């Protein structure tokens, strides 16, 4: 017994000493004594006096910076909104800017070896497989059918019933439920039914929410050592995270087993397609969980800000209605894939709202070797370099003096939509790891937006509400988007 006690004492003593030592090294690298204005403002949180969100303060700093790049020394973080730097990181010197170990560690328990969380060979393999799948015409049509069926059988009946009862509805919650149903059907061939008329509590969605929120919050700890110790001791938020991940795993494993029993070769969902070449259950689980994360909150976030911006400029909504009538005539049904492709004004409005409110607000990489960015910034090996999508949508150098205005017309030339350079418009990332679900996401957003705009008048309860975001992997508005809706006359 004594020996066991002595060994335990030695083990914990060593763990604590090692943790303290690592913490000291970490603190020394971060320069906590830095006295520059940016670091002082960051440390004292005094930016909160003037800005609703941290991303708004960073935007302010980046707009003022001559190079479009700033340093937050106490975080060891270089942040840029300069398109040349972005192209350098994401394309020209792609190999020097992997996601890196600090990022993989934060999300590792939830995402494992899924595409979002890996570099190198694991990433190459999944990227190749997933681009073959997502690029194929048959899977795109399958995705379109799933979206339309969710709109027809769930979204429209729900909105009609809420309009009849004249009650307040949180559109953000509706969009989160919609996109969760949709991405589960697409990834697993499983229907969680979160958007049923009764708006049921969804166990899987809730466990997934908790797991991604708590994983993202690890980044807020003063040092990674803090959450790692909490994880070792299984206490506080780490205990909660462990339980949520356990639930996600059980559900994902259940689905994989069912698919295997029922046979998967004829199914169209992503899991079945991956199952034809992978037998490792854990790897399959990691792959599909990454897709859930990729396709759920991003689309819901994009739709929420779209409707908030539309409430600020009702003439854009009228223009979209006029365009739909022109393309679809008096046809009351949902649009076809081809009809949606002809709606340039709708496409422009969706791109414009994503410019101002990108669902992923910033993205970080870790430099492998010393480097110099095109604007002359020196990047020491191991530095975290972030490009800031939210700020990039608000830079005068990129979008002109009216960059803060919601103006879909900026995307149209002779009434035809013209796409932007992806290193300037970084909403879907850019370069070698550009988002694989971009087309699907845009189709989903446009189809949902159109169904609501054509069928209903939507009034935001508080049009003066300035969006405040909760910390997380994707932009989520605190308090949601409460609206009142009314059915339009046929």
- Please tell me whether residue 477 binds ligand HEM under the rule CB under 6 A: no
- Please tell me whether residue 302 binds ligand HEM under the rule CB under 6 A: yes
CA-wise closest residue to 280 among 139, 125, 109: 125
- Please tell me whether residue 435 binds ligand HEM under the rule CB under 6 A: yes
Tell me which residues in 61-120 interact with ligand HEM (CB under 6 A): 115-116
Pairing verdict, β 77-80 and 384-387: parallel
CA-based max dimension of the chain: 85
Choosing from 288, 294, 328, 391, the residue that interacts with ligand HEM (CB under 6 A) is 294
What is the rounded CA–CA span in Å between residue 70 and residue 80? 6
| Contact by Cβ (8 Å): 95, 89 | no
Segment interacting with ligand HEM (CB under 6 A) among 17-25, 242-250, 437-445, 475-483: 437-445
Choosing from 291, 308, 406, 411, the residue that interacts with ligand HEM (CB under 6 A) is 291
Residue nearest to ligand HEM (CB): 437
What is the rounded CA–CA span in Å between residue 207 and residue 215? 12
Least Cβ distance, residue 300 to ligand HEM (angstroms): 9
- Please tell me whether residue 363 binds ligand HEM under the rule CB under 6 A: yes
- Please tell me whether residue 356 binds ligand HEM under the rule CB under 6 A: no
For every residue of 57-109, DSSP letters joined together read HHHHHHHH-SSSEEEEGGGTEEEE--HHHHHIIIIITGGG----HHHHHHHHH
Segment interacting with ligand HEM (CB under 6 A) among 317-325, 337-345, 416-424, 435-443: 435-443
Closest to ligand HEM by CB, 305 vs 383, is 305
* Distances 373 to 68, 80, 464 between C-alpha atoms, Å: 12, 10, 40
- Please tell me whether residue 178 binds ligand HEM under the rule CB under 6 A: no
Question: Does 55 belong to an annotated binding site?
Answer: no
Phi, psi of 356 (to 5 degrees): -80, -30
What is the rounded CA–CA span in Å between residue 342 and residue 110? 40
Contacts of 346 (CB under 8 A, 6+ apart): 320, 323, 324, 340, 446, 449, 450
Least Cβ distance, residue 446 to ligand HEM (angstroms): 11
Choosing from 155, 292, 403, 440, the residue that interacts with ligand HEM (CB under 6 A) is 440
Which tokens is 127 given? 């990227």
- Please tell me whether residue 352 binds ligand HEM under the rule CB under 6 A: no
Segment interacting with ligand HEM (CB under 6 A) among 144-152, 220-228, 330-338, 430-438: 430-438
Segment interacting with ligand HEM (CB under 6 A) among 59-67, 230-238, 253-261, 355-363: 355-363
Q: Which residues are annotated as a binding site for heme?
A: 435
* Contact footprint for ligand HEM (CB under 6 A): 115-116, 127, 130, 291, 294-295, 298-299, 302, 359-360, 363, 427-429, 433, 435-437, 440-441
């Amino acid at each position: 017994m004594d020996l066991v006690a002595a060994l335990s004492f030695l083990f914990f003593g060593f763990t604590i000493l090692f943790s303290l030592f690592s913490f000291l090294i970490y603190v020394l690298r971060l320069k906590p004594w830095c006295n520059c204005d940016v670091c002082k403002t960051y440390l004292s949180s005094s930016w909160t006096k003037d800005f609703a969100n941290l991303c708004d303060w960073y935007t302010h700093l980046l707009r003022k910076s001559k190079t479009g790049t700033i340093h937050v020394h106490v975080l060891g973080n270089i942040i840029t909104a300069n398109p040349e730097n972005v192209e350098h990181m994401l394309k020209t010197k792609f190999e020097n800017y992997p996601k890196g170990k600090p990022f993989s560690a934060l999300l590792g328990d939830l995402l494992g070896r899924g595409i979002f969380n890996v570099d190198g060979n694991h990433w190459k393999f999944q990227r190749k497989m997933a681009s073959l799948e997502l690029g194929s015409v048959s899977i795109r049509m399958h995705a379109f059918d799933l979206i339309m069926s969710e709109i027809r059988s769930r979204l429209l009946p729900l909105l009609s019933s809420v309009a009849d009862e004249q009650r307040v509805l949180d559109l953000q919650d509706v969009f989160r439920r919609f996109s969760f149903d949709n991405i589960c059907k697409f990834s697993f061939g499983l229907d969680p039914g979160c958007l049923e008329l009764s708006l049921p509590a969804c166990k899987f969605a809730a466990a997934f929410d908790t797991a991604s929120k708590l994983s993202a919050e690890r980044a807020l700890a003063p040092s990674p050592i803090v959450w790692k110790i909490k994880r070792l001791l299984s206490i506080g938020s780490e205990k909660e995270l462990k339980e949520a991940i356990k639930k996600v795993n059980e559900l994902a494993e259940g689905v994989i087993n069912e698919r295997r029993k029922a046979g998967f070769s004829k199914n169209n969902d992503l899991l079945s397609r991956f199952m034809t070449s992978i037998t490792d259950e854990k790897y399959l689980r990691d792959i599909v969980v990454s897709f859930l994360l990729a396709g759920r909150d991003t689309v819901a976030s994009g739709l929420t800000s779209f409707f908030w911006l539309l409430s600020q400029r009702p003439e854009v909504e009228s223009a979209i209605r006029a365009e739909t009538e022109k393309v679809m005539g008096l046809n009351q049904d949902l649009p076809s894939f081809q009809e949606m492709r002809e709606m340039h004004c709708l496409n422009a409005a969706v791109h414009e709202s994503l410019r101002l409110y990108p669902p992923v607000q910033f993205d970080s990489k870790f430099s492998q070797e010393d480097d110099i960015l095109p604007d002359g910034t020196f990047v020491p090996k191991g530095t975290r370099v972030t490009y800031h999508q939210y700020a990039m949508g608000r830079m005068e150098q990129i979008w002109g003096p009216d960059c803060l205005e919601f103006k879909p017309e900026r995307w149209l030339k002779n009434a035809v939509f013209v796409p932007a350079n992806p290193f300037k418009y970084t909403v879907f990332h850019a370069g070698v790891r550009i988002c694989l679900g971009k087309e699907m996401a845009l189709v989903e957003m446009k189809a949902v937006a159109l169904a609501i705009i054509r069928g209903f008048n939507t009034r935001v309860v508080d049009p003066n509400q300035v969006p405040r975001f909760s910390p997380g992997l994707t932009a989520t508005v605190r308090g949601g988007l409460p609206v009142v809706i009314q059915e339009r006359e046929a």
